[in-house]
Structure 1
Amino acid sequence: MSCPDCDCIGTGDIVQHKMNANVFGIVIGFMGTIVIIRVAPTLEVLQFHEWELDLVEDDELPPPPVAAKRPEPDNVIPVDFTKRRPLKPNTTTEGAA
C-alpha cells in the first residue's frame, strides 16, 4: 500500500489511466517502471507505465452499498382471525371480511 502523504503507486492501490478514465483497476504487481493492474470490471490483467496512471483517492470511491431498511408501518393493527371482531365501530356486521 502507498503512504497517505505521497502520490506513489503501491500494490493494492486503485489507479486509473490518465487518458481514458474508463480504464481503472487495482495494482497487483510491478516490473520495473511497468505497473501491472487487474482492470475492473473485466478482471483482465494489463500493463502500463507508471506515468500513464493516476492514483485514485479513497474519497473518490463510491461508498459501499448499504442494505435498505424496510419502513416500519405505523398503521398496522394486529388481527386475530380466530375471533369475531367488528370491522368498524357502530356497524351491524361482525367478522365479515
Structure 2
Amino acid sequence: MIVRIMGEGQLTLADDRLAELNKLDDELLAEMENGDGPGFRATLQALLAKVRDLGEPLPEDSLEPSDLILPSPDATLEEVQELLSDDGLIPGGT
C-alpha cells in the first residue's frame, strides 16, 4: 500500500500493518468527537510517527497513486475532519 503524508511524501506500507494504525486512528476519532484539541494533536503526531516507523519512504522523484492520504503534522482539527471517511483516516477501523 502507498501512503502519502501531506507535505512530506509517500511511503510503502504492508497491508498487514493497518491493524496497528487503527488503534491510534480510533483514538484520534474519539478526541475529535470530544473536542480534545491537545489529545488530537498528540495522537495525530503518534499516528504519523507510527506510519513513518512502519513504512519505507519512496524516492522523492517517485510519484505513485496513493492508497491512503494522511494529513500533515500541523493539520488542524477541521482539516483532518475533511479527510475522514466512515472508518476514520485508516480503512478498517470502527
User: TM range, normalised to the smaller chain?
Assistant: under 0.3
Q: Flag the structure with higher strand content.
A: 1
Larger radius of gyration: 1
Q: Flag the structure with higher helix content.
A: 2
TM-score (norm 2): 0.24
**Which protein, 1 or 2, shows the higher relative CO under an 8 Å CA cutoff with sep ≥ 6?**
2
TM-score (norm 1): 0.23
